[in-house]
Structure 1
Amino acid sequence: MTSPYLLQHAQNPVDWWPWCPEAFEEARRRDVPVLISIGYSSCHWCHVMARESFEDLAVAAQLNSDFVAVKVDREERPDVDAVYMTATQAMTGQGGWPMTVFATPDGVPFFCGTYFAKDDFGRLMTSVTSAWRDQRADVVAQGAAVVQAIGGAQLVGGPTAPISAELLDAAAAGLAGEQDDTYGGFGGAPKFPPHMNLLFLLRQHERTGSAESLEIVRHAAEQMARGGIYDQLAGGFARYAVDARWVVPHFEKMLYDNALLLRAYTQVWRLTGDTLARRIADETAAFLVRDLGTPQGGLASALDADTDGVEGLTYAWTPDQLTEALGAADGAWAADLFRVTADGTFEHGRSVLVLARDIDEADPALVERWQDVRRRLLAVRAQRPQPARDDKVVASWNGLAITALAEYGVLTADRAILDAAVALAGVLADRHLVDGRLRRVSRDGVVGDPAGVLEDHGCVAEAFLAVYQVTAEPRWLDLAKQLLDVALDRFPSGKGGFYDTADDAEELLTRPADATDNATPSGTSAICAALVGYAALSGETSYREAADAALATLGPLISGHPRFAGYAAAVAEAALAGPYEIAVATTDPADPLVAAVYRHAPGGSVIVTGEPDRAGVPLLAGRPLREGAATAYVCRGFVCEHPVTTAAELAGRFTRTGKRV
């Protein structure tokens, strides 16, 4: 089994069925409703509902008697989750996990909710059973109305708006208007890291020179890095903060958040030279490889929010615990630096570590003391119970990580991280591609049954293109094309946009098509990123035409709701810029011109370096060395400027406003 979440519930007294046709056939045979319970392994409130209800013998007996119970891992089956999340939002105005859906034996939802306390859940089951027995016609009619509503919500092919500078600048202005000027980020509690919006604003800054866009990013990045949402000892970001000040996290650490934040912090450092941003990028890259790497290759999905059923048990501290770990003097110093007080910032007088002041550029002796304290505290923390790890490998999330690690590795010249990115790409290519089709998950080296959805194809194709750019190995370009061809053949809506599932995937109540960027890029945003990149790297213009048509379907979302279109807007910035196509012909990969290209090229550029006319690398075709020196060719739309051989000449090819590292 590839789902740790389902394994967590295997010993429940509830007779859980996996998502399968046989479960619904059993409900028809018994003439009972279906309970569809959707969650994921690192979800705190999923654990709470499991302890309160699903592990309770009386609750389980009622559930087994009156329903067929189906457990779904939302990370393994995002298509099923999308359909019932839309239904839950339509019925309640909100959504979340655990998701609790009562449905007919045909899978039609007629009552939806999220977490229910034990007594409430028991009463709810009784009410649903009574309604199913005595008011069947009303129940079925309500379900039909819900299906109609979610079908409308999933329609594709609505209004379009071509991408333009004006549209993207208006989106940036909209984000500026929603910024939290004090604590950074957007909106109030709970506050999620706005990684994709940061990537967009950085690219918008590079195009326009907007100091405001850069400052929004810099401020959010600093506040998050110094807050409790960031693990001040081991690195890595939590999923979100429960407060607006980034102090108290929801402790689960997700692969996708850290991958996207690695890209953001790497780019902040590239553009500003900020020491804090570089440290956070270094530590986040190390966290991904060290703490999420699996023995069989690939990166695990998440670290749990709870430890032994207690949220934050591993991470929170009291002043006495600091003193016990460090001694009186260093304990008091650490309590001041990390804002650990007797009252605490979390439950039971415990505090989540935050960084109370800027220390990255402090006196070297102070920095050394800080790093020594971090190491000693981390050693003590390692003796505590540790959160569980969801070790399934999700294709799209690993794709996001590969792209981030490749960008970080090439910009920092970190060979080990680059090698890790290439190795991870090999895992996806060799394990997740089965008979020419992409599978979504694997675990313990065994690939699962669920087919890849659109976001898997887009994120993995973009990852293969990132690896192609740092290796110049044609295999990766060919694999990206293979995935894009499947996406263009199996997922299109016929109106420029895309569905999230293939035309030969399992038929659900509706065919999901969510264009919004939420925790991860939407499938459409991800596939657009890969289409734009592939077209620029290969010269095959049909892929760019497909990208432009799909981006136009995202235009109204970018202009009207930019907070939920961050990746779409970032891709649109790259498309608007060309993107830049940069080839560096060189016989020496360590030539300074290569590093200068990566340092100066705008975000979203495609870059290939290697020997002139290297086979299978279109951008290097007909790119000779000039007078035996490394030579950079800077092009847009396959129209190239005069080649350059020095970093100073190269810098002049781009409009720049930020400090260079």
Structure 2
Amino acid sequence: MASRLEHVQSPYLRQHAGNPVDWFPWGREAFDEARRRAVPVLVSIGYSTCHWCHVMARESFADPETAADLAEGFVAIKVDREEHPEVDASYMAAASAFTPHLGWPLTVFTTPEGVPFYAGTYYPPAPRPPLPAFRDVLRAVREAWTNRRDEVDATASAITASLARSGDAAEKEGSVPSAGALVAAARSLAAQEDPDHGGFVNAPRPAPNTPKFPVATALGFLLSPLVRAAAPAESAAAARAMNAMAGSELRDPVEGGFFRYATRRDWGVPHYERMLTDNALLLDAATALGDHATAAGIASFLLEVLRRPSGGFGAAQDSESIIDGRRDEGGYYARDAAGRTGLEPPAVDGKVVTGWNGLAIGALARAGARWGEPHWIAAAEDAARTVLRDNRAPDAGSGIRALVRASLEGTPSAAAATLADYGQLARGLVALAVAGGAPEHAAAARELVDACFAEAPDGRPAVPGGGDPVLREGAMTVAAEATDGDQPSGLSAIAAACLDLWLLGAPEEYRRRAERIVAAHAPEALARPLAHGELLRVAAVLADEPRQLVVVTAEPAAPLVGAARRVDADVVAIVTPDAAAGLAAAGFSLFEGKTAAAAPVAYDCRAFVCRLPTTDPADLHRERVRSS
């Protein structure tokens, strides 16, 4: 029997195509089959660079006897969490009712309607206390389904009700935080700094083997202009974190990229997968800090390792590779440049994820503009062109081609895009418009954002088309995620994109959209700043008087351009006269009347009120000057 996973647009699912397990991809077909057979569903969620996903695949899903157990009593679904983040988030929320130790692989048992009634993570092939054997779990679940169905249904109903309640309570009454409230949040966040090794921890001095993540979204909040000006001591925690990470094992000294996280609080013993999300966001942090060496290393990793032939960026690089004929976790990265010569590097997941590419496009555009690196901006241009071409759903007759979540080798996935995809890509396009002066990128960003508000009479953004159809039509409902962990949430990303457009002179409604989102989630964000870094960064821009700097010139090497690149402003746009005119014509009022004569001209603006144009670089070094 041919595998259903052979030709899907997910490298992770293709890794499982040769399993003896009769896998279904995520979709209605699997649940229809479970209803026909009146059996429960196993939903196994992972991703291609997940070490323990590989382990469970080798131990259990490659085992014919395990496959036979699954075939007899279950319908089995394999899900790529990177392709279907809404599915992952929904089942992760449900799994928290069964285990405090959440992660991947995520193993969920559901009714034919998709409602979970039991969940866990990795299960070994033989009992390993406190973990039972995976086949024992299958037998116990099947016994409960067959002989104690009332208990199973009651558990499923309780999970559904709990998720519905969490959705109802997701938004609270609030207002846009004041500058004082944001400074207090920055102090609360900085109080979680590890005093010995930098970064953030949940206790004053946790155990040495406490895992530690970069939490780049929190760094972004601490590096916002408002926090840097009003709370410099707290903002400095971000610089210490970046310095500590850059000088630790978390950073690959050969290829420049950062690993996913460290298993020790001194940033030692990394979990060796390298994600596009982490590296894009850390590139932004390095740029804000003026750390060219770290930024150049990350940019090199993005361009030389993750960039695909199409021009887009792959999702991640694996932790494992083949060394001396055996799979080895981290062995490739443990070697120096000479030691890697001749070795096959760990595989890259070539899936071009829409939003993640948006993060990389924005980071490369901002870094390229900051340091005058045109090839970084050109790489961002290539990625934008790829995503806007390949990551689109077929035209449904409306004339609008909605985004999809990802593509592989130019072929779009069937998975719907998320709100984060729309917001993150829009932000990347705005940054590219500012860096390269192309009006079409800003216009495309505005179209993406507007699509998310087109069917939102209450002002709440939503994914065009409603998102994942199986979740939408089933009993699983989870509120839009507002926490920022390893990347900005959908709500934070779309709020940030609205604000970016407003800063370029889009109508006031774009600012009001950002304000509504921030106000709805401000109480939780202020109480838990480590988990809401991007939302708080957006709030900090709203609470501050924006500085916008436009330099109009056809001379990229002019001294005025170099001075402008070092200015810490909310917008630093270095554009040609034609580009300025094009942006103004596209409806971005910041560029109206911005012209240049024989020499480059700078327009230094506060909240759209501009000082007299200047040609003197010294006039720009008055406030918010970045470190060089």
Q: TM-score, normalised by structure 2?
A: 0.90
* AA aligned opposite 1:190: P
Task: Quote the Cα distance in structure 2 between the aligned partners of 1:601 and 1:647.
Answer: 14
Specify which structure has the higher proportion of helix.
1
Contact 1:501 1:512 in 2 (8 A): no
CA distance in 1, matches of 2:298, 2:28: 41
Does 2:621 correspond to 1:651?
A: yes
Q: 1:3 matched to which residue of 2?
A: 10
Query: Which residue number corresponds to residue 440 of structure 1?
Result: 405
Once residues 41 and 367 of structure 2 are traced to their aligned partners in structure 1, the CA distance between those partners, rounded to angstroms, is: 47
Cα distance, 1:588 vs structure 2? 2.6
- Aligned equivalent of 1:139: 152
Aligned: 1:451 with 2:416: yes
Q: Find the partner of 2:222 among 196, 201, 206.
A: 201
Whole-angstrom distance in 2 between the partners of 1:134 and 1:467? 60
Check if 1:113 corresponds to 2:120: yes
Judge conservation of contact 1:591–1:630 (CA < 8 Å) in 2.
Answer: yes
- Can you list the C-alpha shifts for 1:520-555, whole angstroms capped at 9, x where unaligned? 110011111110011121331111111111111231
Equivalent in the alignment of 1:217: 238
2:193 paired with 1:230: no
Distance 1:541 1:85 in 2: 37
1:244 aligns with 2:258: no
Aligned position for 1:539: 506
CA gap 1:140/1:480 in 2 versus in 1, 3 angstroms: same
Contact 2:46 2:106 in 1 (8 A): yes
How far did residue 151 of structure 1 move? 1.9
Partner of 2:466: 503
Aligned partner of 1:621 in structure 2 is 592
1:412 to 357, 368, 371: 371
- Does the CA contact (< 8 Å) of 1:497 and 1:524 recur in 2? no
Residue 87 of structure 1 aligns to which amino acid in structure 2?
A
Matched length: 588
SS, match of residue 255 in structure 2: coil
Q: Which amino acid aligns with 2:267?
A: W
The AA in structure 2 aligned to 1:54 is F
State the alpha-carbon separation in 2 of the partners of residues 206 and 629 from structure 1: 35
Check if 1:175 corresponds to 2:189. Answer: yes
Alignment of 1:576 with 2:539, yes or no, is no
Alignment of 1:61-76 (within 5 A): 61-76=68-83
| 1:312 equivalent among 330, 340, 347 | 330
Aligned to 2:571: 605
> C-alpha distance in 2, partners of 1:513/1:467?
27
Aligned partners of 1:195 and 1:264 also within 8 Å: yes
The partner residue of 1:46 within 53, 57, 79 is: 53
Could you say if the C-alpha distance between residues 615 and 315 of structure 1 is closer, same or farther in structure 2, counting changes exceeding 3 Å? closer
Shift of 1:294: 0.7
Unpaired runs of 5+ residues, structure 2, are: 1-7, 127-132, 396-400
1:259 alignment partner AA: A
SS in structure 1 opposite 2:96? helix
Which shows bigger deviation, 164-173 or 642-651? 642-651
The letter for the 2-side match of 1:645 is T
Residues in 1 aligned to 2:619 and 2:14: alpha-carbon distance in whole angstroms: 58
Q: Which moved more, 1:437-446 or 1:249-258?
A: 437-446
Cα offset, 1:206, TM superposition: 5.8
Aligned partners of 1:142, 1:163: CA distance in 2, in Å? 40
Normalised TM-score (structure 1):
0.86
How far is the alpha carbon of 1:92 from its aligned partner? 2.1
Contact 1:110 1:139 in 2 (8 A): yes
2:426 is matched with 461
- Residue 27 of structure 2 corresponds to 20
SS of equivalent to 2:122 = coil
Q: Which of residues 392, 403, 420 is equivalent to 2:351? A: 392
Instruction: Tell me the residue number matched to 1:58.
Output: 65
Contact 1:580 1:636 in 2 (8 A): yes
| Residues in 1 aligned to 2:68 and 2:332: alpha-carbon distance in whole angstroms | 35
Deviations 1:279-304 (A, max 9, x none): 11111101101001111220111111
Specify the SS of the correspondent of 2:614.
coil
Contact 2:415 2:468 survives alignment (8 Å) = no
Q: Distance in 2 between matches of 1:234 and 1:430?
A: 29
Q: Distance in 2 between matches of 1:431 and 1:16?
A: 27
Larger displacement relative to structure 2 (18-27 or 589-598): 589-598
The runs of at least 4 aligned residues of structure 1 exceeding 6 Å deviation read none
Tell me by how many angstroms 1:504 deviates.
Answer: 6.0
Give secondary structure in 1 for the equivalent of 2:583: coil
Structure 2 letter corresponding to 1:586: T
Q: For 1:371-428, what per-residue CA distance to the aligned partner results, in whole angstroms no more than 9, with x for missing partners?
A: xxxxxx3132132342121111001111000111011111111111111111111111
1:292 aligns with 2:259: no
How far, CA to CA, are the matches of 2:463 and 2:167 in structure 1?
A: 10
Aligned to 1:329: none
How far is the alpha carbon of 1:64 from its aligned partner?
1.1
Q: Using the alignment, how far apart are the partners of 1:139 and 1:498 within structure 2?
A: 35
Unaligned runs of 5+ in 1: 270-276, 318-376
| Distance in 1 (alpha carbons) for counterparts of 2:215 and 2:478 | 28
Question: What is the rounded CA distance, in whole Å, between the counterparts of 1:426 and 1:46 in structure 2?
Answer: 33
Shift of 1:446: 1.1
Residue number among 559, 562, 566 corresponding to 2:526 in the alignment: 559
2:449 alignment partner AA:
L
- Could you tell which deviates more after superposition, 588-597 or 31-40? 588-597
| 2:198–2:237 contact (8 Å) kept in structure 1 | yes
Instruction: Output the amino acid matched with 2:265.
Output: A
Identity %: 40
